[in-house]
Each structure stands twice: as structure tokens, then as C-alpha cells.
A and B are shown apart, each in its own frame.
Chain A
């Protein structure tokens, strides 16, 4: 079955540590996205990528980094510079960049203490 996988489902880290969230898709989609979700805030765009080896900052990129070395993979690193990293993180992909429908992974709940 085609889809998007995110791992792990739950992640716990100590403050000051960097942590990398995995996102893989086998939909042959060109574009991939990372969102952060907090209660009552909806989805906020962190980073997006339309093509391998290229990515752009979204609305809340500070404290995060990404890479896109393969079409299928778009890992997100939450660095120690992120002030409030505890959140639910969602990865999505779409056929092309832009305004077509996006398909979402199951999410990763990150808790930093």
C-alpha cells in the first residue's frame, strides 16, 4: 500500500538535545511538508520541499532543520534552539508543489522535558 510513514509515534527527549523525526513516502510525490500542530492552533508550516536537494522555510522554521537527499525521505531535526519543541508533528506530501491536495502521515508526538 502506498502511503506516508512517520517514526516513531512517540518521542521523548531531554531539553538541550537535538532530535530527528523521520518521514518516508512511497507515493512518488515530488513535494513534501512538515507541520507543527498545537491545541487550538491548527497546522503551522515548518519547512517544505518541492524537489530533491532543495527546501524552503515555512512560517515557523526557527529552531528546525531539514534535508531532502532522496525523493522518498524528508527528515526533520528539532534543534536545541527551538524554544517550545513539545508538539505533534505532521509530515505530508503532494504530487507537485503548490495547491493540490496533500496526504498526511500519522504524526509524531514529541515531548521534551
Chain B
């Protein structure tokens, strides 16, 4: 079965600084990979996804993520954060070819933006 680790529970970044949120997965082959964002008391919104092809994927709100097979990682990046980016971020993995129960989520990283 697949699993996802987000090593950082909290991350604090100054407004305007760059951001990288880490995600490591465990799966026997190349999985489907996703990043979601959740504002307090809200549902999850899909930021971006990787299925195949170019390992650098672009998403909404200026986010991007890079799939690195050798490191089993799918880190999320943004060159310059805005105060509105403060939220909880979840990495998720899906198994190719099956897994009717869908995605496996990491426990999330809480992003704090300092003025």
C-alpha cells in the first residue's frame, strides 16, 4: 500500500520569500501525485497534479511541484508567498491502475506567513 510523509508539521515564511513544502511517498512504481490546499474551516482545493510526462508541473495560485523519482519526492514550491497563502497543505498519492478507495493523504503542513 502507498503512503505519504510530509516531514514538516509547521513552516513559517516571510511574505515575499520563497517557499518549499516537502512531500515523500512510498509506492512500488510511479504514482499519481497531488497537492491540495485547505483554508481554515474549508474544504480542500486541488493545487496541481502529476500523472506523467514533464516532471515539473504548474498549478494554480503560482505554485509548482517537481516529481523526483530517485528521491520519491514531490515537493511544492512558490517563488514569492503572499499573506493569502497561509493555509494547510496536503500532499496525496494515488496508485496507478487501481485502488478503488482513492487517494492516500499526508498529515499536512501548516504554513504561517510572517509580515
Chain A contacts to B: CB under 8 angstroms: 4, 6, 31, 33, 40-43, 45, 48, 50, 56, 58, 88, 90, 92, 94, 97-107, 109
Contact = CB atoms under 8 A, between A and B. Distances in A.
Contacts, number: 68
Main SS class of interface, A: strand
Interface centre among A100, A105, A109 (most CB of B within 10 A): A100
Interface size class of B (residues with CB under 8 A): 20 to 34
Interface stretch (B14-22, B65-73, B102-110): B102-110
Contacts of B7: none
A66 to B, nearest CB: 14
Contact of A43 (B98, B100, B105): B105
18 contacts: A6-B43, A42-B106, A42-B108, A43-B105, A48-B102, A88-B41, A92-B102, A97-B100, A97-B101, A97-B102, A98-B95, A98-B99, A99-B95, A101-B34, A101-B46, A103-B46, A107-B42, A109-B41
Nearest to B6: A42
Nearest to A43: B105
A92 B81 CA distance: 28
B10 to A, nearest CB: 11
A6 B106 CA distance: 23
Contact of B103 (A41, A50, A102, A109): A102
B48 to A, nearest CB: 10
